[in-house]
Amino acid sequence: NLRRPRLLVRAARHGLSDYDRKRDLRRITGHSSRTTPSALIATLIEQEEMIYEARRKGDGTYSIARHIEVLVALMAECRLLPQEVRS
């Protein structure tokens, strides 16, 4: 359960409608769209945590655009999980 600033989450939710798994997944994670959502979620969580930590520290490498695209991918991949796994 991630706790992130409301505006960041709202921006990511807004981006969900534009998420194209085939187009975006390799760019964001380095994995192909053939990879299962459950296999990608750990990678996406790890990436998001590193980005969030950079944000908290005020690191100059922090990119809000990158943060949002990783959150979008994470949300989209979670939606692809079977219902019993999400509960």
Distance between CA 28 and CA 82 in Å, rounded? 22
- Domain of residue 70: give its range: 6-81
Total tally of structural domains belonging to the chain: 1
Taking the whole predicted model, whether its pTM rises above 0.85 is answered as: yes
Q: Could you read off the pLDDT of 5-31 as tens digits, one per residue?
A: 999 999 999 999 999 999 999 999 998
Specify if 46 maps to a domain: yes
Q: Could you read off the pLDDT of 60-79 as tens digits, one per residue?
A: 999 999 999 999 999 999 99
Query: pLDDT grade, residue 82 (50/70/90)?
Result: confident
Per DSSP, the residues of 43-75 read HHHHHHHHHHHHHHHT-TT--HHHHHHHHHHHH
Specify if 1 maps to a domain: no
Specify if 31 maps to a domain: yes
Residue 82 phi, psi dihedral angles, 5° rounding:
-60, 150
